[in-house]
Amino acid sequence: MKELLAEVEQHHDDLARWLGSEAEPALLDTIQAAHLPEFTLVTIDGGKLDLKALTQALAGSNNAVPGLTIGIEEFEVAIRTAEVAVCRFLEVHSIGTSRRSTAVLVTDPTARYGVRWLSVQETAAH
């Protein structure tokens, strides 16, 4: 379970650094590499992005929210098998917004913490 929390925290640190600073272009490659090619994101407004669309959106968003940080709270693992994990957590953004996220992570020994992102669904939290 430690590797799952480590991946979730590191991934959101990377996203916050990309969105909140003049991060180096290679960081976008790191973010993209954390996902499986089949990745999908269901956004808080109900939109659905595949990995290509997410990467394109991020490419135009470097330093879009200067100083952004994203904290991870209420982390829990709903299920973990040898192949897959389903995690739930609260993302707390320094700009005063929060979202509850459910993520499906798939085991991949070549990945940073041994897992890659397959799917995320975000819901605005109040």
Domain ranges (residues) in the chain = 2-125
Q: Which residues of the chain have pLDDT under 70?
A: none
Write down the pLDDT at residue 16: 97
Beta strands in the chain (DSSP E): 35-42, 48-50, 70-80, 84-93, 98-107, 115-125
pLDDT (tens digit per residue) in 14-30? 999 999 999 999 999 99
Smallest CA-to-CA distance from 112 within 31, 53, 52, 23 is with 31
The CATH number of 2-125 is: 3.10.450.50
**Distance between CA atoms of residues 38 and 23, nearest Å:** 26
Which phi and psi (to 5°) does residue 55 adopt? -60, -40
pLDDT of residue 1: 76
Q: Which two tokens stand for residue 67?
A: 């100083």
Q: What is the pLDDT of residue 22?
A: 93
